[in-house]
Amino acid sequence: MIFKNLAANQDISDQEFDKVYPDYIQNISSLHFTSVQVAKEASHYLAEKSSDVLDIGAGVGKFCMIGSVWTQSRYVGVEQRSSLCDIANNVISRYSLNDVDIINSNITDIPFRDFRAFYFFNTFLENICTEDAIDQSMPVSMELYRKYSNFVRDQLDQMPRGTRLVTYHSYLRELPESYVLKHTSSNAHLKYWERR
Ligand SMILES: C[S@@+](CC[C@H](N)C(=O)[O-])C[C@H]1O[C@@H](n2cnc3c(N)ncnc32)[C@H](O)[C@@H]1O
C-alpha cells in the first residue's frame, strides 16, 4: 500500500515509509538514507533525461525504490554491504516492485556506460569518518576514499553530454569539472548537475 500511495502522490512521512525496514534500520535512516521528499525531487530530475539511473552506494535501496514508483525510469543501486542488499531485496520482493535492482558489489566493479543519470549521497564518508557509522565493517582509509572518489570522477567525466548527476551532502571530490550546476535545493545540500 505504501508504494501505491506514493505513486498516487499522497504525502508519506519518512517514519511511515521506513516501516518497510527492520527496527534498527528505522533508527539510523534519517542519518544515512535519503528522505522521501529528497528522493522524489532528485529522481524527478534524473529521470527527465535517462531511463536508467544508478545510485552509487544504495544502502537499503530507499532512493531507488522511491524513484522506481515516482518516475518511469529503471533504478540500479550498487551497495557493498551484503546485509543492506538483503534487506533491500527483501522489501523489493515483498512489495513486488518493478524497475529496481539492488546489486551487492563495490562501485569500482560497475561500468557507468549503461546509465545516463547518477545519484551520489556522500557515499564514501565512512572511509574518512567513523562517527555514527552504519556499522564497523568499513575500513577507515584516506587512500580508499581518494581511490573511490577518483574512480567515480573519472567515470562521470567519460559520460556523454547531457548526463545528469545529483549530489547530496557531498564534498564534491567525485565531481569532474565537465559538470555544470543547474540548481540547488534543501539549503544547497542537494545539487543538480549536467554534463557539458
Ligand atoms: C549515505 S549511504 C546512502 C544510501 C542511499 N544512496 C540512500 O540515499 O538512501 C551510502 C552507502 O554507500 C555504501 N558504500 C560506501 N562505499 C561503497 C563502495 N565503494 N561501493 C558500494 N557501496 C558503497 C555504504 O555501505 C552506504 O550504504
> pTM of the full predicted structure?
0.97
Q: Whose CA is nearest to atom 14 of ligand 1?
A: 57
Residue 113 φ/ψ, nearest 5 degrees: -65, -20
Q: Which residues contact 194 (CB under 8 A, 6 or more apart)?
A: 49, 162, 163, 164, 165, 179, 180, 182
Domains along the chain?
2-195 (3.40.50.150)
Q: What is the pLDDT of residue 160?
A: 97
In this prediction, the residues of the chain whose per-residue pLDDT falls under 50 are none
Q: What is the pLDDT of residue 50?
A: 82
Q: Is the CB of 76 under 6 A from ligand 1?
A: no
CA of 125 to the centre of ligand 1 (A): 9
Q: What is the pLDDT of residue 180?
A: 98
Q: What is the pLDDT of residue 49?
A: 85
- Ligand 1 pocket test: which of 80, 152, 153 has the largest number of ligand atoms within 8 Å of its C-beta? 80
Q: Is the CB of 44 under 6 A from ligand 1?
A: no
